[in-house]
Structure 1
Amino acid sequence: MTAMGFVEEELAQMWAELLPARTEVPLDADWHALGGRTPALDLLADRIDDGLGVRVAPGELAVATTLAGMAKLVRDAMAARTAATRGAAPPAPAPAPAAARAERPVLSFAQQRLWFMQQIDPDTTLYNVPTVLRMRGALDRDRLGRALGALVARHEVLRTTYEAPSGIPHQVVAEPARTGAEFDLPYTDLTGPSDLSGPSDLSGPSGLSGPSGLSDGADSTAGPTAGPTAGPTPGPTAGPAADPRAEAARLAAEEGRWVFDLAAAPAFRARLLRVAECEHHLVVTFHHIAIDGWSVEIFFRELGLLYGDGASVPQVPALHYADYAAWQREWLQGSTLDALTDHWRAVLGENPQALAVPTDHPRPRRRSFRGAVVTRTLGAELTARIRRFGRAERVTLNMTLLAGFQALLAGWSGSDDITVGTPVSGRTRPELQDLVGCLINMVPVRVRLDGDPDFRALLARTRTALIEASAHQDLPFDKLVEVLVSRRSRDFLPVFRVMFSFLKEQAEPVFPGLDHCSLDLTGPQDTAKYDLSLYAQESGAGVALTLEYDTDLFGPDTPAELLAAYEQALHDAITLPDGPVLDLVAVRFRGSGSDGSERTTHLDR
């Protein structure tokens, strides 16, 4: 998921074109701090009017001053426009802490879905979010433990469990630990004999021994010992591992397969591994019910600040996830809910059909969620050309890459009606920017290729579809399905089976006193939530492509060939943007066997 929404991406590109330095524009960028002049805000207002279809006064932009603040003005204007044309409800009220929290705080819509899926398959690890922070330098373990303790105290969702005594789940938020308390961080030294004096293994899946989060003093090298099945448990390390980094990777993978008991302990756990004299790996595994990609960035950014002197850490947030969940439930009803569902009904129709692409194997009756990935990199030269073409067409890199993928899917499937799912942050208000929790939502992006469009026309259609999807992203996907799809099957994905996600290059966490830190979010590569999921992440001057595929449907050759065809399709589309896009050779992808023969494929409708 991109760290910016579609509106923010559009604004960032407009800023870059108008600012004297033409620099990268982060979400917290300040117009004046980057050299933006007040008269240029007139031009920015005109571009917003032209590109996003709403009018925001230059004076309001001057007061907002930051990219996030201006994005809020644009979103409010878009909501007001929708309300005026469709009789919709006004923009959402600002979320705020509840004056008196309910005795049993409700789950958000996203949490409810994730909780329900975990009940259906209690042993699933499909919704785990594994991360590894690699740290080089003289690490102070005590400081790290205190930083983790302070972070858990800051964010309620990190110390929340989910109980359902009457079948209806609710949040149970533990009290924070006392100031200065250490997080119970298990430690394994893979370079030498066990260190039995350090903090022990977890008393539960979260690393919290009850509400306080304090250590209980067990064996420091023990692996997971609580909760449901979690794979093999390593014993004490009597000596150095033959290959500490390989052993660290094995242990990280094992942690990533932890099965969370959401009623027994909070939905995250951590473990520290020493792999060299001045090199450690902090393995943190979350359940998606407590986190999303945006929140992972907040987690490690704040952990680095707390590891330092803590002076620059923002004050403890007044708004917590339980407050957000209550606000979401209260707001998304009545005329607001009706307006959102009316929009998506107009876009998708009743009982929208998911795109069917040819598969190598027949679709099984039940999904196993087994998957694999193939990777490829768009080189610096091609990426630079795609960026230049996009700027000329007034679209973002995200939009150009998605349009190329839609063209390829159309040529491959033989359909001119392409719906792809894409994640959105769900953080449409400033109050939600620094909230840790699961706010992410999936939105369908439907684009038709009827009329034999050229690539410029397809790009314009994609741009409009993405902006409209962003403006109406507040309807939880499950609600959309509930309203529009009359019959659902657990074995088949409604509305879309292909996903596209664009990700900005992530900034590495900074820990004062350490030489270098890098965050690995790769995780296990043996699962698949959709038939195909294409991740495109900015990487230096290029774009790293990862295609996750369902191994029940595809062998390894088809996804690899599909990525190669995608790269060629992008090249051809920006080289020949005025001819029918479906006439491009690369777009007419068919796939072939390893001997060059055409593959036998299966198509379900």
Structure 2
Amino acid sequence: MTSPSDDKRSRLAELLRGKTRPSLRVAASSGQERMWLQERLSPGNAALHMAVTVRISGQLDPVALSRAFQAVVDRHDALRTTFPEHEGRPLQHVAPDLKLSISEVDLGNLPEPLREPEALRHVREDVRVPFDLERGPLLRAVRYRLAADDHLLLLTVHHIVSDGWSMGVLVREVAELYQAFTSGQAPTLKPLPLQYADFAAWQRQGAQGDALDAQLAYWRQRLDPHAVLELPSDRPRLASLDVQGARYSIVLPPALTQALKELGLREGRTLFSVLLAAFNVLLQRYSGQDDLAVGTPVAGRSRSELESLIGLFVNTLVLRSDLSGDPSFRELMGQVHDSALGAFAHQDVPFEKLVEVLQPSRRLNVSPLFQVMFVLQNAPVALPPVPGVRMEAHPVDVGAARFDLTLVASEEARGLRLIAEYRTALFDEATVARMLGHLRSLLQAVVLDAGQRVSVLPLMDEAEQRQVLLDWNDTRVDLSSTATLPELIQAQVERTPDAVALAFEGRTLTYRELDARANQMAHALIARGVGPEVRVGLLLERSLELVVALLATLKAGGAYVPFDPCLVYTS
């Protein structure tokens, strides 16, 4: 009797032998359909653009670079794919050939200090240029020439034909082919065993039957499709989706980074589980919710035949954690670890299929199933040595955010970098900076004692505690001045007459206007006998007029007696 995994391998083997190879116009994969729909809902959505820059130092051969770039386009069908619509759904159309050139922007005529800032300004603009999914191409390349021996290569691809892993494949193969062409050698890249359209057909064949039902049963039992994380934000969520985003980062020192790794080793947990558990504590403390769902990406390349391909393979898993009952951090780590193992064991279900089957409450301004993502990033792309030049690749911040908040952990020589990508429509930079500071405090506490209950883990460092408990509560006021309130306000009128003194429901009064109205009313009160020891009843709703009446009474020398309009009844 064959197992479901044996069936999958046999279907993949048939594709590799070309027995069921798709035509040049075939159905899109489930991930591509999701990207296509997101592009339709928000045309030109920069959050769906993937970009990387390659800094090239040394004597560059532009012709060899262009040949290398074109050879990669020729090699990968995904880079020649567009998406015509058929009966309301996208199809993959693979062009048999596609000639692409590398655009050049020469910045060498600028003063040397201005070249790099200008190149980065161009990068920020160019990565946001929309793609046309139906006409293509869905890959662009721009080379910014800063000097004869200094270039910046920008590669931008739409997410519908690429993912993070693919960007690494793209950059490495361009570098390897460039090396071959500049040295006069034949390229040594191995022939691809299959193309992305083969994978898409295989994925659709596998998205049925008992194996799929078993996987879906796990997710039905595991997830609450209607749960929504309600993080407090600086502004209310807009009715429409706003993907404008920014990033803020901190670096944990090497000592703390090492301590986190050692904690994982002692407890038999991974660094992924340690960091995600701490992130869950942070989310619970901010939201007040115990039931948390966080998304995390997986490469989706469970077989070696897929590792060298460019295309959209990445899948998204939803990891649910329960912080009710105030568990210890050690217990929470174990729960997160088990949740991750279960999710990874059932990762073959495309995220789009989960959404289709679980049918979460859908809102255009909220992501389904989860709103926050956690990513433990692998090592940066290592490029092969190329004689005569030095190449370094770096991902590009496209100025957009696919989710409300994404925490990316990436190990560097200086320590562990924590990057928060956030939607600027919801959060200010200061708020996100405070979040990361609180996460750092949590991590510092758990490496000292993982047995602490999550409710007692500190968020604030000593400086913030002193600010909140002491500085902000220092309410002492110097009352040595004998000036009255009307005199103090009159002095402010003389200093800043045109500054806004009052604002209420869209209306404002400057200090000059407030003083003039109060004086007018004070004269009317004096004419009616108001003076020292005379009480003036004020029956007014909260308004600008109420403040004018209060100040006028004091200017007239009387004392005001406010009445609550809600408690006053007439017979």
TM bin (shorter chain): 0.7 to 0.9
The aligned counterpart of 1:38 is: none
Cα offset, 1:449, TM superposition = 1.8
The aligned counterpart of 1:279 is: 150
Selected match of 2:106 from 186, 189, 194: 189
Selected match of 2:270 from 392, 396, 407: 396
Cα offset, 1:367, TM superposition = 2.1
Could you tell me whether the CA contact under 8 Å between 2:231 and 2:286 is conserved in 1?
yes
The aligned counterpart of 2:206 is: 331
Deviations 1:476-516 (A, max 9, x none): 21211121125312222221111111102214323512442
Q: How far apart are the structure 2 equivalents of 1:189 and 1:317? A: 36
Q: Aligned partner of 1:429: which letter?
A: R
The aligned counterpart of 2:239 is: 365
Residues 269/373 of structure 1: CA separation in 2 closer, same or farther (3 Å cut): same
The aligned counterpart of 2:535 is: none
The aligned counterpart of 1:379 is: 253
The aligned counterpart of 1:316 is: 191
The aligned counterpart of 2:126 is: 255
C-alpha RMSD of matched pairs (Å): 2.7
Is 2:70 the partner of 1:157? Answer: no
Q: How far apart are the structure 1 equivalents of 2:246 and 2:24? A: 43
SS for the counterpart of 1:341 is helix
The aligned counterpart of 1:219 is: none
The aligned counterpart of 1:522 is: 396
Residues 165/408 of structure 1: CA separation in 2 closer, same or farther (3 Å cut): closer
Q: How far apart are the structure 2 equivalents of 1:359 and 1:116? A: 27
The aligned counterpart of 2:94 is: 173
Q: How far apart are the structure 1 equivalents of 2:7 and 2:339? A: 22
How many pairs does the alignment contain? 461
Selected match of 1:121 from 25, 31, 42: 42
Selected match of 1:581 from 454, 457, 461: 454
The aligned counterpart of 1:293 is: 164
Deviations 1:436-475 (A, max 9, x none): 1011111110111233221211111111111111111121
Could you tell me whether the CA contact under 8 Å between 2:360 and 2:369 is conserved in 1?
no
Stretches (4+) displaced over 4 A = 88-94, 239-242, 594-598
The aligned counterpart of 1:477 is: 351
Q: Aligned partner of 1:462: which letter?
A: V
Higher strand fraction (1 or 2):
2
Deviations 1:398-441 (A, max 9, x none): 22111111122122222221211111111111211111101111
Residues 483/165 of structure 1: CA separation in 2 closer, same or farther (3 Å cut): closer
Q: How far apart are the structure 1 equivalents of 2:330 and 2:166? A: 35
Is 2:60 the partner of 1:139? Answer: yes
Q: How far apart are the structure 2 equivalents of 1:340 and 1:89? A: 16
Tell which deviates more after alignment, 461-470 or 579-588: 579-588
Is 2:406 the partner of 1:489? Answer: no
Q: How far apart are the structure 2 equivalents of 1:484 and 1:166? A: 24
Q: How far apart are the structure 2 equivalents of 1:544 and 1:571? A: 15
Q: How far apart are the structure 1 equivalents of 2:23 and 2:48? A: 27
SS for the counterpart of 1:169 is strand
Cα offset, 1:142, TM superposition = 0.9
Q: How far apart are the structure 1 equivalents of 2:416 and 2:144? A: 31
Q: How far apart are the structure 2 equivalents of 1:248 and 1:114? A: 29
Q: How far apart are the structure 2 equivalents of 1:338 and 1:426? A: 19
Q: Aligned partner of 1:346: which letter?
A: Q
Deviations 1:155-181 (A, max 9, x none): 11111111125433211111246xxxx
Residues 470/311 of structure 1: CA separation in 2 closer, same or farther (3 Å cut): farther
Residues 165/241 of structure 1: CA separation in 2 closer, same or farther (3 Å cut): farther
Tell which deviates more after alignment, 442-451 or 165-174: 165-174
Q: How far apart are the structure 2 equivalents of 1:92 and 1:358? A: 47
Selected match of 2:443 from 566, 570, 573: 570
Q: How far apart are the structure 1 equivalents of 2:387 and 2:24? A: 43
Could you tell me whether the CA contact under 8 Å between 1:163 and 1:263 is conserved in 2?
yes
Q: How far apart are the structure 2 equivalents of 1:279 and 1:110? A: 38
The aligned counterpart of 2:31 is: 110
Q: How far apart are the structure 2 equivalents of 1:416 and 1:119? A: 35
Residues 363/167 of structure 1: CA separation in 2 closer, same or farther (3 Å cut): closer
Is 2:136 the partner of 1:265? Answer: yes
Higher helix fraction (1 or 2):
2
The aligned counterpart of 2:339 is: 465
The aligned counterpart of 1:30 is: none
Q: Aligned partner of 2:365: which letter?
A: D
Cα offset, 1:313, TM superposition = 3.4
Could you tell me whether the CA contact under 8 Å between 2:144 and 2:151 is conserved in 1?
yes
SS for the counterpart of 1:381 is helix
Q: What pairs with 1:444-459 in structure 2 (closer than 5 Å)?
A: 444-459=318-333
The aligned counterpart of 1:246 is: 117
Selected match of 1:535 from 391, 400, 408: 408
Is 2:292 the partner of 1:418? Answer: yes
Could you tell me whether the CA contact under 8 Å between 1:94 and 1:429 is conserved in 2?
no
Q: How far apart are the structure 1 equivalents of 2:93 and 2:381? A: 33
Q: Give unmatched runs, 5+ long, in structure 1.
A: 1-78, 193-238, 599-605
Q: How far apart are the structure 2 equivalents of 1:447 and 1:427? A: 26
The aligned counterpart of 2:530 is: none
% identical aligned pairs = 34
Could you tell me whether the CA contact under 8 Å between 2:294 and 2:370 is conserved in 1?
yes
Residues 311/499 of structure 1: CA separation in 2 closer, same or farther (3 Å cut): same
Q: How far apart are the structure 2 equivalents of 1:183 and 1:348? A: 45
Could you tell me whether the CA contact under 8 Å between 1:358 and 1:412 is conserved in 2?
yes
The aligned counterpart of 1:442 is: 316
Residues 255/391 of structure 1: CA separation in 2 closer, same or farther (3 Å cut): same
Could you tell me whether the CA contact under 8 Å between 2:377 and 2:408 is conserved in 1?
yes
Structure showing greater Rg:
2
